[in-house]
Amino acid sequence: MNILIVDDDRTNLFIMAAIVRRLDDVEPVSMESPLDAVEWLRGNEPDLILLDQMMPDMDGMELLRHIRDDGRLDNVPVVMVTANTAVDIRVRALDEGCNDFLTKPVVVPEVQARLRNLLALRQSRALLRDRAALLADEVERVTAVLQRQGEELVKRLSRASEYRDPETGAHIERMALYSRLIAEAAGCGAAYAQELMKAAPMHDIGKIGIPDMILLKPGRLTPEEMTVMRQHAAMGHRILANSDIPLLRLAAEIALSHHEKFDGSGYPNGVAGTGIPLSGRIVAIADVFDALTSTRPYKRSWTLEEARAYLVQNRGRHFDPSLLDAFLSRWDEVCRIHHENADELAHPVPLDV
Ligand SMILES: [Fe+2]
Ligand SMILES: [Fe+2]
């Protein structure tokens, strides 16, 4: 450690430096001129500063003010050496951030004891700061790990559903991108939009509970089969609900609400308007738009314009009007997402996570 000593009197400077040298592991940095000290402090942080109060050019009080104005040196203790025992000077110095005083003529053991105490205090403070920084880093690291684990879980669940769902991975990809786009365009904030994009791929996870003969049936479903098929919303919700992972809770909300319609004619609960969670209202637009513009075994793909016209026709019926407007306001990006994420294969293939 080092102690900066500032004193215009060479003899005093020499004596103080000698006293400081006798402390363990401490080196003095001696300065005769307070202006030199100010200059030196610009590029250095001592462990303690010892100031003479009476100096020409700049007295100890002014130098103290300089030191305390510099935020970098907040944790450096300052001891003022003064011949003046007047209480008002000491109070003023304390107000300005001085930590302790030494009275001339100095008593060597007293100087050493005071310096030792202040240095020990500074060391333990630094230790606490280091520990706090270490803990903050650790918390950040663990939070990032948890976040990654949540995301990986979501990816794996989505992959599991791809094995059962005739819809391709590209559909999942596109509808997730459309969902983020709508959330951004509607002013939901980048963080929510990002979470929505990650959670949306699980909207149909409940289909793993639907029998093959219904899920994979090439033709139209009978009303009875349709009733079974519709259970995928509640099943998906049951799979994902009540998780401690926020992303899974959002995914559960989407699974339950992505087939609700704005006019209340959807399923499973027939909720209407803003009674449907925002996530469900957004994903409904993304999911339907992409289903229409994709080729499925039972239908050709609609053109983007045809799908757009369908959405507009159902504005306020199936879809939340303001969210639909937000989607359409980004039409160029919608087209780009559609073209850049074309279906590659008719059947999904497992990939490494
Ligand atoms: Fe669905
Ligand atoms: Fe879908």
Q: Rounded CA gap, 309 and 286, in Å?
A: 14
Peptide bond into 297 cis (omega under 30): no
Q: Rounded CA gap, 213 and 164, in Å?
A: 12
> Nearest bound ligand to CA 165?
2
Question: Cα(172) to centroid of ligand 2, in Å?
Answer: 7
Question: Cα(189) to centroid of ligand 2, in Å?
Answer: 24
> Nearest bound ligand to CA 172?
2
CA pseudo-torsion sign 223, 228, 231, 232: negative
Q: Rounded CA gap, 283 and 304, in Å?
A: 18
> Nearest bound ligand to CA 259?
1
Task: Give the contacts of 181 (CB within 8 A, at least 6 positions apart).
Answer: 193, 327, 330, 333, 334, 337
Question: Cα(254) to centroid of ligand 1, in Å?
Answer: 9
Question: Cα(325) to centroid of ligand 1, in Å?
Answer: 22
Question: Cα(314) to centroid of ligand 1, in Å?
Answer: 18
Domains, the chain, ranges and CATH?
2-132 (3.40.50.2300), 164-340 (1.10.3210.10)
Element holding 286 (H helix, E strand): helix 278-292
Q: Which strands make up the sheet holding 27-31, listed edge to edge? A: 27-31, 2-6, 48-52, 78-82, 100-103
> Nearest bound ligand to CA 291?
2
Report residues near ion ligand 1: CB below 5 Å. Answer: 204
> Nearest bound ligand to CA 170?
2
Q: Rounded CA gap, 14 and 281, in Å?
A: 79
Q: Are 107 and 125 in contact (CB under 8 A)?
A: no
Does this model's pTM top 0.85? My answer is no
| pLDDT on residue 316 | 97
Name the DSSP class of 319: B
Q: Rounded CA gap, 304 and 232, in Å?
A: 27
Question: Cα(217) to centroid of ligand 1, in Å?
Answer: 16
Q: At what angle do helices 321-328 and 169-185 cross, to 10 degrees?
A: 100
Cα→Cα distances 130→126, 135, 188, 292, Å: 6, 9, 38, 57
> Nearest bound ligand to CA 206?
1
Q: Tens place of pLDDT for every residue, the chain, 353 residues?
A: 999 999 999 999 999 999 999 999 999 999 999 999 999 999 999 999 999 988 888 888 999 999 999 888 988 999 999 876 778 888 888 999 999 989 888 899 999 999 999 999 999 988 999 999 999 999 999 999 988 888 888 878 877 877 777 666 788 889 999 999 999 999 999 999 999 999 999 999 999 999 989 988 888 899 999 999 999 999 999 999 999 888 999 999 999 999 999 999 999 999 999 999 999 999 999 999 999 998 876 678 899 999 999 999 999 999 999 999 999 999 999 999 999 988 765 444 444 43
